[in-house]
Amino acid sequence: MKKMTTIITLVVMAIILSACNMPGYQGEIPEESDDLMATEIARILTGTPVEIELTPTSAPIEEETSNPVITEEVTEPEVTEEEATPEETEEVVTEEPTTTPEPTSTPTQAPTATLADTDPVLTLGSPDWVDPMDDADNWPTGFNEYTSIEFEDGFLKLAADTDLDGWRLSWPYLEDFYLEATMLFATCEGSDHTGLIFRVPEDSNANAGYLFGITCDGRYNLRLWDGKNMSYPVNWTESEAIKKGEDQTNILGVMAVDSNLALFINGVKVIEISSDVFNEGQFGIFVGGTNSDLPEVWVDQIRYWEIP
């Protein structure tokens, strides 16, 4: 009897245990962890970054040219002069002057100019730097093979001694700025030209930069000189904003912010381009003779505003 009881007990336990795997029973299903899901999303979204090479907009096309580079500069606080080897211009004067040029007499018209309502100086406030040209503290002086410069009657007087473009540089080194020069042609004809050179990158070898100039007969352009080739981001263009001829005062301005270059004549913006070949550097005045033997420009004032 005891043996039969034991057998019955074992059968009942077997039935109970087999119920755990009976049809219709649902066991607990483990959920996927948050860490695994986050890892999967990260795997999908993460890829190899693509580097995009940026190219400057409206970058000037370099052209071979025979235009020269002649330069002198001033560094702070000691004044120094540097000259670059010139190259022949496209138009060559067959006879060079045999005598040292003397400054011309006082021009018949006072150096004043009427500005447009769009002139940047109306909104920029006080300038960060002003040179009224009362002395030569910020500029080199004297004669060289290409230009002569002196200070007299409150003017910087820069004369071309040959048919080559020549310039003199001041010492400030700028990045983003509005630069303005009040200048007058004391002697000029036709395509004789003068203007601002800016963003000259190397003070020890000032043989490159942008040149914004106007001609005696009322045209402007922007050139890019790299020390070997001259390119023309802006070709010679006529403008009613320019006061033509001798004894006329014109105010040239350059707004340079990053790669954006805006050119102003007597407060009128004549053009705006993008060029990032040079992004900082020194500035100065240049003069070039094409028609007359010795064009001469008188600069009454230069000033600038640094753009933060």
Q: How far is CA 183 from CA 34, 78, 132, 200, in A?
A: 73, 26, 12, 20
53: CB partners within 8 A, 6+ apart: none
- Per-residue pLDDT at 204: 64
Look at the domain 71-85+113-306 and name its fold. Jelly Rolls (2.60.120)
Question: What distance in Å separates the CA atoms of residue 291 and residue 287, rounded to the nearest whole number?
Answer: 12
Task: Supply φ then ψ for residue 77, to 5 degrees.
Answer: -90, -10
pLDDT at 132 over 60: yes
Phi-psi sector, 118: left (phi>0), alpha (psi -120 to 50), beta: alpha
Task: Supply φ then ψ for residue 122, to 5 degrees.
Answer: -70, -20
Higher pLDDT, 282 or 111: 282
- Per-residue pLDDT at 146: 80
Question: What distance in Å separates the CA atoms of residue 249 and residue 180, rounded to the nearest whole number?
Answer: 13
- Per-residue pLDDT at 141: 86
Please indicate, yes or no, whether the overall pTM of this predicted structure exceeds 0.95: no
- Per-residue pLDDT at 115: 60
- Per-residue pLDDT at 296: 94
The helix or strand, by DSSP H or E, that contains position 208, with its residue range, turns out to be: none
Q: What is the pLDDT of residues 137-187, one digit of tens each?
A: 999 888 877 889 999 999 999 999 888 889 999 999 999 999 999 999 999
Coil vs helix vs strand at 17: helix
Question: What distance in Å separates the CA atoms of residue 250 and residue 114, rounded to the nearest whole number?
Answer: 9
